[in-house]
């Protein structure tokens, strides 16, 4: 468990409550090891994640991550910034597929920034490519050319990198509404043209029975707030996936509601899938240390961990239902608070969740 910075440790404390409860009441036998990442690790060791922590993360059955970053480290060199620790974990664990489900709970319909009729029953899966693209492309940096200063990054995708994330999207779609929307900007970017070509090839070769559409990223941002229910699975690159998933978060009521699973390829020998579970939100410096953070995105990420890494479907269902029940009781953290509801703190939300888990088991 890498709690990280800001509200990271606050929301992770609520996951720990659930783990302690399930070890106690459901005999799950989870062994948890805490470690540092992000600014917390920089302060202790001068880097955003240590080699030892990387080794432990690679050896673990699953990693849970809270959030990293904050104004305290804004002026640290880029390679040691808190965010670099998160990026190294994703890259070195080869977690190329980031599943970000935007699911609207009935009880939260009024917290969405869209009209109820647009978001009722909404269930979108954004599959974000997580280990390539402009986040990692070389060259990058600053330069002076003919006396003019430049800053630059490189957007680059190999066939393999697009192929494998497209397959994840198509496989997911087959278990859902059988529809994939691939998002890029093939109208202006060469890498976008290439992305579309490879997705079409994968589709024609192995997934012709899945409905496939293509959309430019700017239009997709607009369509997400115009008529989100038109989407089932969206597959897109690292940067567009980052932007579109924050946007999709508000459909559900708050960034504090959006979980994610970052998955790698199955090791054919051991059967293990490298995995890290992380809320979509960041360290929220504006509310850190005040007990205001919504822990549900992280708790729902933990539920994804039960489902994807441990095949504990019943426990995951219980947790998802407990979240639904807590919301139906009218309990709300500040970010999803509305008229007539009862405001609770981060830990108040976690305690109520345990009460609901008690009832369900």
- Which residues sit at the interface with ligand IPM, rule CB under 6 A? 69, 83, 86-87, 242, 280, 282
Among 10, 83, 237, 242, interactor with Mn ion by CB under 5 A? 242
CA distances from 102 to 19, 93, 184, 255, 294 (A): 24, 25, 20, 10, 16
| 264 in contact with ligand NAD (CB under 6 A) | no
Told to judge if 232 belongs to the known catalytic residues of this protein, a careful annotator would answer no
Binding-site residues for Mg(2+): 218, 242, 246
Helix/strand/coil (H/E/C) assignment for every residue in 32-46:
CCCECCCHHHHHHHC
Q: Are 290 and 265 in contact (CB under 8 A)?
A: no
CB-based contacts of 291, cutoff 8 Å, min separation 6: 10, 345, 346, 347
Among 47, 80, 229, 285, interactor with ligand NAD by CB under 6 A? 285
User: What residue is closest to ligand IPM based on CB?
Assistant: 83
Binding-site residues for substrate: 90, 100, 128, 218
Tokens for 104, please give them.
């609207």
Q: Considering the complex, what minimum distance in angstroms separates the CB of residue 295 from ligand NAD? A: 7
Backbone angles phi, psi at 123, to 5 degrees: -150, 95
Report d(CA 183, CA 224) in Å as an integer.
12
- Which of ligand NAD, Mn ion, ligand IPM, none interacts with 255 (beta carbon under 5 to 8 A by kind)? ligand NAD
> Any idea how long the chain is?
361
Which of 61, 218, 267, 311 is flagged as catalytic?
218
Told to judge if 110 belongs to the known catalytic residues of this protein, a careful annotator would answer no
Backbone angles phi, psi at 41, to 5 degrees: -75, -40
Told to judge if 277 belongs to the known catalytic residues of this protein, a careful annotator would answer no
Q: Considering the complex, what minimum distance in angstroms separates the CB of residue 278 from ligand NAD? A: 5
Q: Are 299 and 14 in contact (CB under 8 A)?
A: yes
Q: Are 304 and 260 in contact (CB under 8 A)?
A: yes
In the numeric block, the tokens 């997580």 are attached to 130
- Which of Mn ion, ligand IPM, ligand NAD, none interacts with 315 (beta carbon under 5 to 8 A by kind)? none
- Which of ligand NAD, ligand IPM, Mn ion, none interacts with 306 (beta carbon under 5 to 8 A by kind)? none
Number of residues that bind ligand NAD (CB under 6 A): 22
Told to judge if 157 belongs to the known catalytic residues of this protein, a careful annotator would answer no
Which of 42, 135, 277, 302 is flagged as catalytic?
135
Query: Which positions are annotated as active-site residues?
Result: 135, 185, 218, 242, 246
Residues in the site for ligand NAD, rule: CB under 6 A? 7, 11, 67-70, 83, 86, 255-256, 278, 281-287, 293-294, 297, 335
């Amino acid at each position: 468990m890498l709690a990280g910075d800001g509200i990271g440790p606050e929301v992770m404390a609520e996951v720990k409550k659930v783990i302690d409860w399930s070890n106690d009441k459901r005999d799950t036998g989870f062994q948890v090891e805490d470690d540092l990442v992000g600014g917390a690790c920089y302060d202790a060791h001068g880097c955003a994640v240590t080699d030892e922590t990387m080794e432990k993360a690679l050896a673990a059955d699953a990693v849970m991550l809270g959030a990293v970053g904050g104004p305290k480290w804004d002026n640290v060199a880029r390679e040691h910034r808190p965010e670099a620790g998160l990026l190294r974990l994703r890259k070195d664990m080869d977690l190329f597929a980031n599943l970000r489900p935007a699911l609207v709970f009935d009880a939260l319909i009024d917290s969405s920034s869209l009209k109820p009729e647009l978001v009722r029953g909404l269930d979108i899966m954004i599959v974000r490519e997580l280990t390539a693209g402009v986040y990692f492309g070389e060259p990058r940096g600053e330069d002076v050319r003919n006396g003019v200063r430049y800053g630059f990054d490189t957007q680059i995708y190999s066939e393999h990198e697009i192929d494998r994330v497209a397959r994840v999207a198509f496989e997911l779609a087959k278990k859902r509404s059988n529809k994939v929307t691939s998002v890029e900007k093939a109208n202006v970017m060469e890498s976008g043209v290439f992305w579309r070509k490879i997705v079409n090839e994968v589709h024609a070769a192995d997934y012709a029975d899945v409905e496939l559409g293509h959309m430019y990223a700017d239009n997709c941002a607009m369509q997400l707030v115009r008529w989100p229910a038109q989407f089932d699975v969206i597959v897109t690159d690292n940067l567009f996936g980052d932007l579109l998933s924050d946007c999709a978060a508000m459909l559900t009521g708050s960034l504090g509601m959006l979980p994610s699973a970052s998955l790698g390829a199955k090791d054919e020998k051991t059967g293990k899938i490298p995995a890290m579970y992380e809320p979509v939100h960041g360290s929220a410096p504006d509310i850190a240390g005040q007990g205001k953070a919504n822990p549900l995105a992280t708790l729902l990420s933990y539920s994804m961990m039960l489902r994807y890494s441990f095949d504990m479907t019943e426990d995951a269902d219980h947790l998802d239902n407990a979240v639904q029940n807590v919301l139906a009781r009218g309990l709300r953290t500040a970010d999803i608070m509305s008229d007539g509801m009862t405001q609770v703190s981060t830990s108040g939300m976690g305690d109520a969740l345990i009460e609901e888990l008690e009832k369900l088991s």
